[in-house]
Structure 1
Amino acid sequence: MTGDAVVLGLQPARLPSRALALLIDLVVIWAAYLLISIGLALATASLDEAAAMAISIASFLLVLVGAPIAVETLSHGRSLGKLACGLRVVRDDGGPIRFRHALMRGAMGVVEILMTFGVVACIASLVSERGRRIGDVFAGTLVVRERVASAPNTAVPPPPPWLVGRFTGVDLSAVPDGLWLEIRQYLTRMTQLDPAIGRRLAERLADELVARTGTPPPAGVPAAAFLAGVVAERQARDARRAFGPTYGPTYGPGMGMVPGAFPAASAPADGPAPAPVPPPPLSPPPASPSPSSSSAPAPRTTGFAPPA
């Protein structure tokens, strides 16, 4: 929840991905620390023991503590390990971290990671609901996943053409967004479901939709086709509100039919299944005027009246 009361859909990183990122960071940091220590040992060979010890402690603090803090501050929560694993450190409200957040995480990391070999950090991450270690709790931060696999966007199949325009008078204001989401998920996956299970699911969703709208489906229309027709009507209304009253989907003869998408209505227990609603007859195209009926074309009117 941000300061503007906006809910962010962030996915917290769990222990395996965080442990892998930390392992990569530790390998890089320890390799740099060993190289720097060897260089300092050769450069300070002529100094006394106390000076050499002070230099080694300073190099330890600068490389193992100061370097991670500087990297997280400058990269806004990304280190080499987190960048490789697709992770990032953010504040509790989803914003980028600053120096004080990185400083608190680095200071607590000395105790719970370096001094205890990561045992305290692992236990805290397992106990926490969002996988946070003690440094994250004190700093008010959270490690989230930046690369999240997205599901393929499947279009909702259009209704049969003979249902287009049949639900223009239906009141859809009382239908909640959760029911629309369930109907959309069913329509995009109905060809992958078992026919009996899909039919029962479509009938349940149709009953909920009828209870919200107060308009039953036409006689003989399968539940799946009824759901597709109502969803198409809602999409058409949204399009007209966004782009103008003349905008909307158009379906020609034979368009919008997905083979096997809309199963036939099941037969009731006391009689045969009702006959499906036949499509409306197509009106014949207007006859073109014959050459003998008119010798000259009709004058075109532009709607412009010359001044008197």
Structure 2
Amino acid sequence: MSELVTGEAVALELRPARLPSRALAVLLDLAVAVAVYITVSIGLVAATASLDEAAQIALSIASFILVLVGAPIAVETLSHGRSLGKMACGLRVVRDDGGPIRFRHALVRGAIGVIEILLTLGVVACVASLVSARGRRLGDVFAGTLVVRERVPTARGGFVPPPPPWLAGRFSGLDLSAVPDGLWLAVRQYLTRMQQLDPQVSWSMAERLAADVAARTGAPAPEGVPPAAYLAAVLQERQAREARRAFSNNGVAHNGVAAGGSVRASAPAGPYAPPGGQPQPIPTPGPYGPPAAQPPVPTNTPPAPPVAPGQEPAGDRPGTGFAPPA
């Protein structure tokens, strides 16, 4: 990963494209450009057969510049850094701050690319890409651009277990605006990997994350709710708010959340109690229960002496009230 800082001081993690994928994209672009250039050249030869030799040479040079230099610049400018070869390889040209490129960036890359790719058969571009830490050729250095990968393989095992059903809607009144994205990411990563952790370690991590989230929201976690279930319910509430904000239709409120993300106030979440009953211990099904209890530690207490048949231990005999004479 390569960390880029935007003009708003936001850090972006992008994966720069390496030499093999970039070389394949360039070869695909060159194959298309050469095919178009040959077709245009044949058409010009047939159309300019009656012209003199100087006019034919001028037209051939103009077609070379337009097809092999001007066309790639126009394609990258109009597609914001995605030529045909880059689309096929999942690459894109961006600025150093992660933004889309403009005409001047594509012009500098294309002009220098004529020298380091066409005239030197790509030798200069390969050397510069191998030397650069982010795989940039000279055109990228002078234009202030970077070629990044758009299609990044995602790892498996990103499933977040849903919270218990009895926690549905319990945290609709929490103010989640103060929780940073880094903490949300830590909560999500914990929930996706908590099944792989030791129960004691998982429980302590859940308690620490739940305390951080509760401190950011300004409301303590409800009593009796396991910390992992609390984190899963709060994360689900955040995802539901984002989905309602994204798919809200003309300001119509859905389930207490209006367009724009405003949340209706609701009663604070308290201890779990069934309708019409007294508060009871909250069930903890699934992976959100407390860590398993440790087995009792054996002691070194000597066993009691054996009792002869027909006799009872002194402590088990019933009292008769008789006391022997002094």
TM-score norm. by structure 2 comes to 0.60
Q: d(CA) in 1 for partners of 2:146 and 2:269?
A: 45
Q: CA deviation at 1:100?
A: 1.2
1:227 paired with 2:227, answer: yes
Structure 2 match to 1:280: none
Give the aligned residue type for 1:158: P
Structure 1 match to 2:320: none
Structure 2 match to 1:137: 141
1:16 paired with 2:20, answer: yes
Match of 1:245 among 240, 254, 266: 266
8 Å contact from structure 1 (residues 12, 145) kept in 2: yes
Query: Identity rate of aligned residues, in percent?
Result: 59
1:158 paired with 2:163, answer: yes
SS in 1 for 2:6: coil
Q: Which has the higher contact order (CA 8 A, sep 6+)?
A: 1
Q: d(CA) in 1 for partners of 2:109 and 2:236?
A: 52
Unpaired runs of 5+ residues, structure 1, are 166-174, 273-308
Q: d(CA) in 2 for partners of 1:176 and 1:75?
A: 34
Alignment of 1:144-293 (within 5 A): 144-149=148-153, 154-158=159-163, 181-191=185-195, 193=196, 197-199=197-199, 201-202=201-202, 205=205, 226-231=226-231, 242-246=263-267, 257-259=284-286, 262=289, 264-267=291-294, 270=297
Structure 2 match to 1:297: none
Structure 2 match to 1:64: 68
Call closer, same or farther: CA 1:247–1:21 in 2, change over 3 Å: farther
Q: d(CA) in 1 for partners of 2:180 and 2:74?
A: 48
**Deviation sequence 1:240-284 (CA, Å, 0-9, x none):** 994423376989699975446647424278469xxxxxxxxxxxx
- Which shows bigger deviation, 205-214 or 9-18? 205-214
Q: CA deviation at 1:51?
A: 3.3
Call closer, same or farther: CA 1:262–1:117 in 2, change over 3 Å: farther
Q: CA deviation at 1:110?
A: 0.7
8 Å contact from structure 1 (residues 86, 146) kept in 2: yes
Q: d(CA) in 2 for partners of 1:86 and 1:21?
A: 9
Q: CA deviation at 1:236?
A: 9.7
Call closer, same or farther: CA 1:92–1:203 in 2, change over 3 Å: same
Give the aligned residue type for 2:134: R
Q: CA deviation at 1:154?
A: 3.0
Q: CA deviation at 1:46?
A: 3.8
Q: CA deviation at 1:140?
A: 0.9
8 Å contact from structure 1 (residues 159, 256) kept in 2: no
8 Å contact from structure 1 (residues 183, 227) kept in 2: no
8 Å contact from structure 1 (residues 78, 89) kept in 2: yes
Structure 2 match to 1:294: none
8 Å contact from structure 2 (residues 162, 233) kept in 1: no
Q: d(CA) in 2 for partners of 1:44 and 1:136?
A: 38
Call closer, same or farther: CA 1:13–1:237 in 2, change over 3 Å: closer
Call closer, same or farther: CA 1:247–1:79 in 2, change over 3 Å: farther
Call closer, same or farther: CA 1:122–1:256 in 2, change over 3 Å: farther
Give the aligned residue type for 2:24: L
8 Å contact from structure 2 (residues 160, 188) kept in 1: no
1:122 paired with 2:131, answer: no
Call closer, same or farther: CA 1:206–1:150 in 2, change over 3 Å: closer
Structure 1 match to 2:40: 36
8 Å contact from structure 1 (residues 190, 261) kept in 2: no
Call closer, same or farther: CA 1:235–1:60 in 2, change over 3 Å: closer
Q: d(CA) in 2 for partners of 1:161 and 1:270?
A: 36
Give the aligned residue type for 1:33: Y
SS in 1 for 2:14: coil
Call closer, same or farther: CA 1:52–1:232 in 2, change over 3 Å: closer
- Would you say how many aligned residue pairs link Structure 1 and Structure 2? 256
Give the aligned residue type for 1:104: V
Call closer, same or farther: CA 1:161–1:74 in 2, change over 3 Å: closer
TM-score norm. by structure 1 comes to 0.63
- What is the root-mean-square deviation of aligned Cα atoms in Å? 4.6
Q: CA deviation at 1:182?
A: 4.0
1:80 paired with 2:84, answer: yes
8 Å contact from structure 1 (residues 161, 252) kept in 2: no
Q: d(CA) in 1 for partners of 2:84 and 2:283?
A: 50
Unpaired runs of 5+ residues, structure 2, are 171-178, 242-255, 257-261, 276-280, 300-326
Q: CA deviation at 1:16?
A: 2.8
8 Å contact from structure 1 (residues 89, 142) kept in 2: yes
SS in 2 for 1:8: strand
